[in-house]
Amino acid sequence: MKNIAVLASGSGSNLQAIMEAVERGDIRGGRVSLVISDRKNAYALERARGKGIPALHFSALKYSSREEYDRALVTYLEKRQIDLVVLAGFMRLLTPYFVLCFHQRILNIHPALLPSFPGVRGVEDALNYGVKVTGCTVHFVDEGMDTGPIILQEAVPVYDNDTTETLHQRIHAVEHRLYPRAIHLVLNDKVTIKGRRCIIDED
């Protein structure tokens, strides 16, 4: 059974979907063993505690640099024997040190069809650009901002009367299905990275 750590800064609806997918048996071979947030009041921490999963506020205030923070985080994750790091709305860019330590073992979900609209305003940027179709992307994390190899993507249509909120709501609904699926595939060695491409061996 592999240990998953979920890193989240906000509401944690993706975390909730992942925990429920583990309970349903849709994610096999792994369990959420730890949830970490850089924000003390992140609702994600409460969601984890509600399921009896250790949840920790890892404050950046104690560290003088991003690298120092990441070093402490890596030490902690290694002590807890974490196999897979899942970013679910974690609002910190990981340092190359962290990425190297968990090489090809970090996943992220982004609320747009990468490589379009990377960064923290993916939903708003897509809407303002005027695209008719956007979506969400699950990808491996590399040193860049939303640049790692893409595991799964799904499109979401943009409607004329959409606001950032309504559009994000529909993207969220897709994320809650797509992220657990991607995690299951990675945990069960169904994803092979070839250059920038992820080849999926569906089960």
Distance of closest approach, residue 80 Cβ to ligand GRF, in angstroms: 21
Q: How far apart are CA 150 and CA 132, in angstroms?
A: 21
Judged by CB under 6 A, the stretch of 28-36, 108-116, 157-165, 182-190 that binds ligand GRF is 108-116
Active site residue 110: yes
- The catalytically annotated residue of 110, 139, 168, 176 is 110
Cα(78)–Cα(76) distance, integer angstroms: 5
Using CA atoms, how far apart are residues 9 and 174, in angstroms rounded to an integer? 20
Least Cβ distance, residue 154 to ligand GRF (angstroms) = 12
How many residues touch ligand GRF under the rule CB under 6 A: the total is 14
Q: How far is CA 62 from the centre of its chain?
A: 24
Nearest distance from residue 64's CB to ligand GRF, in Å?
27
Query: Of these, 4, 45, 82, 109, which contacts ligand GRF (CB under 6 A)?
Result: 109
Indicate the pairing of strand 30-37 with strand 55-57.
parallel
**Is residue 89 near ligand GRF by the rule CB under 6 A?**
yes
Binding residues for ligand GRF restricted to 120-139, rule: CB under 6 A: 136
Residue from 53, 162, 175, 198 that binds ligand GRF (CB under 6 A)?
Answer: 175
Q: How many CA atoms lie within 13 A of 109 on its CB side?
A: 31
Write b or e for each residue in 83-119: b if 16 or more Cβ atoms lie within 10 A of its Cβ, otherwise e: bbbbbbbbebebbeebbebbeebbbbbbbbbbebbbe
User: In angstroms, rounded to a whole number, what is the distance separating the alpha carbons of residues 99 and 113?
Assistant: 22
Distance (Å, whole) CA 108 – CA 136:
11
Question: Which of 4, 6, 7, 8 forms a contact with ligand GRF (CB under 6 A)?
Answer: 8
- What is the number of other CB atoms lying within 10 angstroms of the CB of residue 167? 20
Can you read off the two tokens belonging to residue 170?
């529909």
Q: Smallest gap, in angstroms, from Cβ of residue 14 to ligand GRF?
A: 3
Nearer CB in complex with ligand GRF: 68/149 = 149
**Residue 13 binds ligand GRF, judged by CB under 6 A:** yes
- 37 is a contact residue toward ligand GRF (CB under 6 A): no
Query: Which residues of the chain form contacts with ligand GRF (CB under 6 A)?
Result: 8, 10-14, 88-89, 109-111, 136, 172, 175
Give catalytic residue positions: 110
